[in-house]
Each structure stands twice: as structure tokens, then as C-alpha cells.
Amino acid sequence: MLEIDLRAPTIPLDQRVWRLFPGEGYRFLDTFKEQNVGFLDLPGLVLPAGPLSEVNPDDLIDRVAFSQAIKDAVGKVGSAGAALLNFEEYRQSRRTTHRGSIRQAIINFYQEAQVNDLVVLPEPVFNKNIWIGQFDSNQVFQSAYQKRYDDILIPSRSIKWIGQYQEKTVSNDLSWSLRQTHPFTLLQRSLHLEVFSLAFSSFVFGDHYVSTIFNASDDYLDADSALLGMASRLASSACVAMDHNRAGLSLDDILTIILSTPPIEYSCSQAIDIHSEGFNRYVSGKIVPLVISATIAALIGLSELSSSEEIAPHIAQFTVTNSSSNPDPACSAQVSEATKRILNVLGVDKTWKLCEAAKAAQARAGLRSSAQPRLTPQRRDPK
């Protein structure tokens, strides 16, 4: 039996993405990554009780001024001397634009950002990496950054890092956005799809369907591109047939599929970076990207068989599942139907040839789909 796990979450339309800057000179970067934590550079900050957005703005600004005084004192008299400062002496501190922006960052980080919100964390440009994580709790706890502030505590939050990504694989707009030194802000919505693509590889977001095919090395050939192009054309045609209630594809359709251009609404926009560890990312308003991902996964999975004769029973018991959080069963069923149509119309011999091409691309270029194939022993019909 061949099973394809789409691993494509349905992302809520109100999903938020935040940009967290790891302090002046990126000083907190290693602590954030190694301890799965995030905080603002506000040593000694004591958060008032109640919703922060309802606290008197002057009170929060006084607390910001007090924390800034602690930072200055640490550099002059050490943490022991800084600990002797009295907050009451910083009441009625000067209201500045900078302190006002830090006040808003406090509200955003400790109140507005909620569990499962995404966080993008930049490394220095010369490191060429960014990190994406998720808040995994709404709890605020105290931690210490001993490299600079010894045992002076800082309110902190737990962040589960999803992964590290090469900055060369992101757009210039996202890269430039991450260089703002404001400590914590919402990322503009125009960049959300790109962040979701990095974090989840495949997903459904409103009327967007997205999937990614990866290559793990730079030995990526035009033959690999042709294989993905074939999968894309087949996926488009299968989706068109389903949406127009056609019985299925026929062998006569294959040449037409190769030579014709699919309707624009069934075409995908494509982002490509195939140098070294690279990817092909597909985006569409139809399920076509997920069908591409499932088709490539199916070919890779079936390529584990020893001969073409073994294919037919696995296709007959083919299923698509979705182990991600918040899966859409209806979407999985549609992807399963479309992919099965493709495998059926190709037949055993043509499917096996594509399996051999996928196997060669996997061995040479590290080709893999964001969907995961799994072959299990075939079910036998009870007698």
C-alpha cells in the first residue's frame, strides 16, 4: 500500500508573524537559539499586573527608563551596583519617541503575541541565516542573561524554534525587513506566505495552496526540471478534470497535456532556488501545488519497488493523509483523487519510467517532496 502524508497544515487567516531582533550587536542570538527563549533587552523590568495595554502609558515608560538606567549602571559599576537603583527615583521620566516605541514592544511581546504565533529571528548578514519559531506558551517567566547582566532578571517567553534557513533563499523584501533594529514588531502581511513556506513547506492559507519540492545538492539537471514540469502539467490537468466533473484522464490526453498550456487559474506561480540545497516552491489558488507534491512523493515512494510489476497493487490501495495540525480532510481527499487519476492514466510502464527518473534525481540531486511517501505491505482481501 502506498500512503502519502501531505504534512500541509491549514493556517488560520488571523495567523500572526512577528520579527524579533536579538539585541544590539545580535548579542542575545545564541541564548535565544540554545535556550529556546526570547526576551527584550530590558534587564530588571518588572511588569505591572493586568493587561499591559490598559496600564497607564506613563507607568510603562517609567519602567523602560528604569531598565535603561540599569543597563547603563551595569557598564559603569557592575551588576551589584546596578541592583541598588531605586525604581521610585525614575517616576516622571522624560517621555521620548524611543521610549514610547519600547513601551509598544513590551505590549506586543508580553501581551499581544500569543501561543503558536510565528517569530522570525535574523542572524547577522555575514552568517547568512534566519530562524523561524513559534511561541509555545503564553506564560511569562524570569530568566537571566549572565554574560552581560549577571543575575539581574529579564521577563522572558518560551519559543520553539522550527528551523534555520539560509538567507539567500528568502526574498530581498524579507531580508531587508529583518534588519530593522526595533526589538519586536509585526511582520508585514505581504511577507507572511514566504515565512509560512519556510516554516511548513506545504500549507493551505485562505485561497492559497502552497507546496515545495527540495533538492539537497547542486547536481540539479534540466532533466529534474522537466520531471517537475511534467508533474505540474499532469496535476493541473487532473484538477481541471475533477472540477469539471470529467470521468478522468485518458492516454490520448497525455500528449495534449504536454503540449498545451493549462488554464491560468490552474497554473502555479513558482519560486526557485536550485543551487546547492535548493527548492521549487509552487503557489496557486487551486490544489495543484499539493497534487504536484503528492505526485512526486508517490513516484519516489514507488521507486523503492524492485520492478514495474509491483506497482499496480500499490496504486490500487493508494491513499493521501495529512498528519499536520489542523488538517483539511476534504482537501486531502481531493488531492488523493487527483493524484490517483494521474497514476492510473500513466499506467504501470510509464509510471515506472517516471519512478526511475525520480529515483535518479533523488540519488544525484537529493530530490524530495514536502509530502512524505510510505510503502506498507499490501492489504489482502478477505476470502
Kindly state whether residues 106 and 156 are assigned to the same domain.
yes
How far is residue 377 from each of residues 19, 305, 336, 374, 380, measured CA to CA in Å? 46, 12, 19, 10, 9
Asked whether the predicted pLDDT for residue 319 surpasses 90, the reply is yes
Is 187 contained in some domain? no
44 and 142 belong to one structural domain: yes
Question: How many structural domains compose the chain?
Answer: 2
Would 193 be classed as within a structural domain?
A: no
Q: Among 119, 148, 182, which residue terminates a domain?
A: 182
Domain extent, residue 112, equals 22-182
Euclidean distance between CA atoms 272 and 169, whole angstroms: 9
SS3 300: helix
Q: What is the mean pLDDT of residues 295-318?
A: 94
Is the confidence at residue 8, as pLDDT, over 90? yes
207 in the same domain as 155: no
pLDDT digits over 94-107, tens only? 999 999 999 999 99
Q: What's the mean pLDDT in 277-288?
A: 95
The C-alpha atoms of residue 32 and residue 88 are separated, in whole angstroms, by 31
C-alpha 237/C-alpha 128 separation (Å) is 39
Same domain (yes/no): 29, 127: yes
E runs forming strands in the chain: 2-5, 17-20, 37-39, 118-122, 129-135, 141-144, 153-166, 184-186, 203-205, 208-215, 269-273, 278-284, 319-321, 368-369, 372-375
Q: Kindly state whether residues 40 and 170 are assigned to the same domain.
A: yes
Closest to 44 measured CA to CA, from 79, 20, 76:
79
Instruction: Name the band, by pLDDT with cuts 50, 70 and 90, for residue 362.
Output: very high
Mean of pLDDT values over 164-169? 87
Residues 208 and 178 in one domain: no
What letter represents residue 147's amino acid?
K
Host H or E run for residue 68: helix 57-82
Q: Is 215 helix (H, G, I), strand (E, B) or coil?
A: strand
